[in-house]
Amino acid sequence: MVAHASSWQAAGSAVVALHGWEFPLPGDAELAGTSGHARQGWMLLARGREPLARVAWRRHDATPDLDRSLDKAGEELCRRGGCQRLTVRRAVGDHQRQGEWDGPTGTWHAAVRYFPGTQLTLAVTALVPDLAVAELMAAAQAQAPDAPWRWCAYGLDADLPSWWRLVGMQAYAGLVRAVWDHRPQERFRADALVVLRRHACAARLLAGRDPAAWLAAGLDRPERIEAQSVADEVVRLVVSRPAAIWWQRIRGRRDQRVLHAWQETEADRLVVQEWRGDGEPLPCLRRAAAEAMA
């Protein structure tokens, strides 16, 4: 069964962008699952119920041995496709290797690419025969450590400074939620959190209310609204509540949350951005270009 991309599919869903890299999606493919963190992990691309490819990433201080990485990617292909031997090994420049393995059901492909300057290595392994991964790998990009990183997965699309780390991302039917935290100098405790939630069926959720009223109705009892504004169809709410730590509460300090909410009318989605913590709140992360594409 093929999942056809509809006009209300996630805006900007032609790529997956996580942890400082972007990887293009083959036509009609979607992100089926991810695992890992900024230093290493993998993701699974699928088309309908058919797995297409597995993309793994890893950051390490030393320059990787790409031939060895390609051989390791091929081990899985040999197990899955019954391949016997590597038939083609191709070097594309100094930082990319591509391989082909012949099996009884077709030719299986894998590619490995190192991005100097970012210490990032991507490895893509085809999970079906005759899937050309070389073009996909050629279109992959790594983002510089000092530039904003794009995060694009499951319909969420935002740019965040590179010092924000993804804590977790959940994609449920009707809700996608991602949490980032900021840990200054790699401390154990985060000093700020950003949560993005993308709700489906926004019209049913709002039930005729505007997003500001919906947000206000969902506040906890001790919270009160300090400021409210609307600009470019984005609602901004600043709410505060008594501090969580008792001695700060005694001193009269209040913890702040900054909420932004906007609707993606074409896809009937409601996106809520929540920031809490110390320091300067993040601005709205809505991508105007992605909205225009939708």
Residues near another protein (CB under 8 A): 1, 3-4, 6, 8-10, 30, 48-49, 172-174, 200-201, 204, 267-268
Q: Are 96 and 111 in contact (CB under 8 A)?
A: yes
CA distance 140 to 45: 14
Residue 135 host element (H or E) = helix 133-139
- Which ranges of 41-124 does DSSP label H, i.e. alpha helix? 66-81
C-alpha 251, offset from chain centre: 40
| Residue listed under structure tokens 């984005």 | 234
To another protein, the closest distance from the beta carbon of 3 in angstroms equals 4
* For another protein, the closer CB: 10 or 70: 10
To another protein, the closest distance from the beta carbon of 205 in angstroms equals 12
DSSP 8-state symbol, 211: H
To another protein, the closest distance from the beta carbon of 234 in angstroms equals 21
Bridge partners, residue 194, by sequence = 180, 275
CA distance 266 to 221: 33
To another protein, the closest distance from the beta carbon of 7 in angstroms equals 9
Count CA atoms closer than 13 A to 3's CA, side-chain side: 16
Question: 45 vs 107, 128, 267, CA distance in Å?
Answer: 19, 11, 22
* For another protein, the closer CB: 13 or 119: 13
* For another protein, the closer CB: 5 or 219: 5
* For another protein, the closer CB: 170 or 248: 170
* For another protein, the closer CB: 200 or 216: 200
* For another protein, the closer CB: 30 or 100: 30
To another protein, the closest distance from the beta carbon of 47 in angstroms equals 11
To another protein, the closest distance from the beta carbon of 202 in angstroms equals 9
